[in-house]
Amino acid sequence: MVYETPPSDLVISENMRSMQGWPELGCALWQLVVLVSFSQTEEPTCVQIGDPEIAQLSQDGDIVLEDMYTQKPLALQFNLKSSLNFREFQFAQTMLFAIEEINNSTDLLPGVSLGYNIYDTCGSIPKTIKVALALNNENGNTSSNSDTPLKVEHTFVCLQFISFHFATCACLSDKTKYPSFLRTIPSDYYQSRALAQLVKHFGWTWVGAVRTNDDYGNNGMATFTETAEQLGVCLEYSVSFFRTDPIEKIQKVIETIQASTSKVIVAFVSHLDMDVLIHEMSNYNLTGYQWVGSESWISDSQIAFILDVRPLRSLNNDLYKEFWETLFSCKFKQEKSDENYRECTGQEDLTGVENSFTDMSLMPIFNNVYKGVYAVAHALHEILGCDETCNKNVQLDPLTVSMYNILQHIQKIHFKTKEGEEVFFNENGDPAAKYEVINWQPRENGIVDFITVGVYDASLPFDEQLKLHNRSILWSQGSKQVPVSVCSEKCPPGTRKVLQKGKPVCCHDCIGCAEGEMSNITDAVTCVRCPPESWSNERRDACVKKEAVFLSYNEIMGILLTTAALFGTCVTAIVTIIFYRNRTTPLVRANNSELSFLLLFSLTLCFLCSLTFIGQPSKWSCMLRHTAFGITFVLCLSCVLGKTMVVLMAFKATLPGSSMMKWFGATQQRLSVLGFTIVQVIICILWLSISPPFPSKNFEEFKEKIILECALGSALGFWSVLGYIGLLAVLCFIFAFLARKLPDNFNEAKFITFSMLIFCAVWITFIPAYVSSPGNFSVAVEIFAILASTFGLLICIFIPKCYIMLLKPEKNTKKHMMGKGPPKTF
């Protein structure tokens, strides 16, 4: 290609590719290329080779904006007679509308008119490149006439012919590779993140993904997948296709959708690819799916026409109304009707014209073209130093209108459209990322309203970026209920999630929490163990305070044991009364009445000390129950041991020359009882001083209950007390056994022997029963042992005597007592 230096021409050429990321083939790298030349007298040094390109649409002006029109064909071949793309033609009309507005404006470029040249590339990549380069050659045919309009080319120049991108590609924000690329449509990076947040907002954690197999679909879906994973959304499948793929591959995509379990499909697809997919899907019975689409096809009227519905978007602002009036040569009804215009409503009956040219559903997208033209105009306004008028005498030399210079001006622009929308570019050449969330809502008459149900603003904090009006959304098949699309249902409180082996993290099983654990949230990953004083309820969704249990006076076991203790106390009191009334009789006096009364007193204390084991444990009750039990039982056994020794010594003293009784008289008996008891008192004092019993909470015995009990403190102290009691019991048994065959009609030793047998049997069995009994049952075992052994002593030692005193008084005589009894066999 050879360039001829044109005389005093500055040409702006703009390629009219879709700014909304429509996936037409072609170079989406928008470059501001400024070809500057001056009037010169020398001969041209360059001549154009090849045929010149003729603009399809043009208008002269002081400054001409040349726009190259691009489109993607459905196939590599195209037919100029039948492949007119009305949507791309609408983009051209939008540019014309904006230029006309600017030319009629007194504030922007006053006195300067803009023209345009628009070329048709017919959707062919070679044709696109040829036209783009031809724009640079166009000046070779121009004359040096001073009246020739200034031309600034704003063109599609592909610096990398091998790599073709879409205008929304996130890669174009890389200023190291594309320093001169600017756009009025946000990067797909933000759209992909918006779609991921939209999916997460409705609780769809199991979705399918379909994408165009090109930069637009692959890059957009890659960002969506990354963001979705961060938000806990899983893809059941992710398939790609291109509209020129074999039909078998497209059918395989549809079969993948058909075999899936997800009910939501995210489609990052161009509108042309979506056309092909929907045409093929019409051969399958696929219903009940919720589609979430990118802007490339979701607001495309062609898709709606394929589905046999007519899209309709209300004209809700002045810009849209003005564009409608310009496009269809009509005026909206006003107070004073203008006879030169026919009246329009914005909802003209276009039933007979079913194409995207008559559809205003893409008005928000046209707005990006509108803003692009105004951005160039504002840059020229600054370059020409326009105020009330523009300085046409500005010398347009290479330093004034170079590519770098005009780029600097465009990058710095910051203005508002008449609708109040701010237009500016960030350091990456991107505008503020704002999107409308559109919901297709069919009417009864076959019209589908494109209803805006929310907005996404990437400039806000993450939690505030997406705002939706959920109540106004209509879901698939006319439902107002948000569809559910999950791999596994949410785990209710009381359960936890367990991932299914070999499947994504969104697929899980719900396992109930174990005893003592709970989860009070949905989809809990782990169950939380309840505090020691709490336990999980039956549903495992809360921790409830454990029931504190102890042997109380209100429960049956407590009542029975209390009754037994009181009954034993009463019986002992009755026996004491009987003995007191018969204290002068030989039977009472022969068995050491003083020790008998002391023994009855100690038995009463033994019955009563068992009551200290019943009731809620406290600091004082814990110390009292074990020490009282130990001391009273030692006192009791000391008395029994004294009585046994008295019997044994009494008969030994009858032998000739024996002086045993003087060594074991009344004083010695009292001292022996006192001495034996003091030893136990000392043991108890040491126990209480070193490590006394204390109230504690037992969490181990019963999982759902707290056992309030008395901890022993020092186990050595407790077993020392029991061991000393056991020692005295053994001594009592030995002495009683030795005296069992002594001659006497009423030998008390044999009754003491039986009582000690019972006593030892009870306490021997008590040890394993006490150790193995859980919770408050161990307390009941201890009380039972106290009562059983006490009743054994009371019954064996005193009841036979009471029987004689009350029923056989004739035997209560000294003669009878001193009489020889039958031979002893025991």
Strand-pairing partners, residue 57, are 118
Q: What's the rounded Cα separation, in Å, for the pair 767 and 178?
A: 90
- Is 519 a residue whose pLDDT tops 80? yes
Q: Would you state the pLDDT for residue 776?
A: 75
Q: What's the rounded Cα separation, in Å, for the pair 447 and 314?
A: 12
Summarize the confidence of residues 550-559 as an average pLDDT.
89
- Is 732 a residue whose pLDDT tops 80? yes
- Is 449 a residue whose pLDDT tops 70? yes
Minimal CA–CA distance to 200: which of 174, 159, 229? 229
On average, the pLDDT of the chain sits at: 77
pLDDT confidence tier of residue 700, bands split at 50, 70 and 90: confident
User: Same CATH fold, 556-812 and 190-294+433-478?
Assistant: no
Lowest mean pLDDT among 23-32, 55-64, 489-498: 23-32
Residue ranges of domains in the chain = 57-138+153-168+365-424, 190-294+433-478, 495-545, 556-812
Residue with tokens 């309009």: 149
Q: What's the rounded Cα separation, in Å, for the pair 517 and 529?
A: 4
pLDDT confidence tier of residue 645, bands split at 50, 70 and 90: confident
Q: What's the rounded Cα separation, in Å, for the pair 495 and 670?
A: 71
- Is 698 a residue whose pLDDT tops 70? yes
pLDDT confidence tier of residue 76, bands split at 50, 70 and 90: very low
Structure tokens at 263: 């009910």
pTM exceeds 0.75:
no
User: Could you tell me which residues come within 8 angstroms of residue 461 by beta carbon, excluding any fewer than 6 positions away?
Assistant: none
- Is 33 a residue whose pLDDT tops 50? no
Structure tokens at 690: 């070193």
Q: What's the rounded Cα separation, in Å, for the pair 605 and 649?
A: 28
**The CATH number of domain 57-138+153-168+365-424 is 3.40.50.2300:** yes
Q: What's the rounded Cα separation, in Å, for the pair 352 and 330?
A: 18
Structure tokens at 372: 């692009």
pLDDT in tens, 134-144: 666 654 444 44
Minimal CA–CA distance to 627: which of 725, 535, 701? 725
pLDDT in tens, 240-256: 999 999 999 999 999 99
Q: Would you state the pLDDT for residue 517?
A: 92
Pick 498 or 326 by higher pLDDT. 498
pLDDT confidence tier of residue 300, bands split at 50, 70 and 90: confident
Highest mean pLDDT: which of 16-30, 513-527, 637-651? 513-527
Q: Would you state the pLDDT for residue 697?
A: 87
User: Could you tell me which residues come within 8 angstroms of residue 581 by beta carbon, excluding any fewer than 6 positions away?
Assistant: none
Pick 797 or 362 by higher pLDDT. 797
DSSP secondary structure letter of residue 402? -
Q: Would you state the pLDDT for residue 820?
A: 52
Summarize the confidence of residues 615-624 as an average pLDDT.
89
Highest mean pLDDT: which of 137-141, 626-630, 753-757, 817-821? 626-630
The upper half-sphere exposure of residue 790, i.e. CA atoms within 13 Å in the direction of its Cβ, equals 33
Strand-pairing partners, residue 543, are 536
Which class in CATH covers the domain with range 556-812? Answer: mainly alpha
Q: Would you state the pLDDT for residue 39?
A: 32
Pick 36 or 377 by higher pLDDT. 377
Strand-pairing partners, residue 467, are 455
* Burial tier of 461 (Cβ tally within 10 Å: 0-12, 13-18, 19+): exposed
Q: What's the rounded Cα separation, in Å, for the pair 784 and 614?
A: 12
pLDDT confidence tier of residue 1, bands split at 50, 70 and 90: very low
Q: Would you state the pLDDT for residue 715?
A: 87
Q: Strands 63-69 and 150-151, how do they pair?
A: parallel
- Is 349 a residue whose pLDDT tops 60? no
Query: Residue 182 in contact with residue 154, Cβ under 8 Å?
Result: no
Which class in CATH covers the domain with range 190-294+433-478? Answer: alpha beta
Q: Would you state the pLDDT for residue 392?
A: 65
Q: Would you state the pLDDT for residue 190?
A: 93
* Burial tier of 577 (Cβ tally within 10 Å: 0-12, 13-18, 19+): exposed
- Is 658 a residue whose pLDDT tops 60? no
pLDDT confidence tier of residue 231, bands split at 50, 70 and 90: very high
Query: Residue 279 in contact with residue 324, Cβ under 8 Å?
Result: no
Q: What's the rounded Cα separation, in Å, for the pair 624 and 609?
A: 9
Lowest mean pLDDT among 118-127, 274-283, 329-338: 329-338
pLDDT in tens, 93-136: 888 889 999 999 888 988 888 888 787 776 666 777 777 776 66
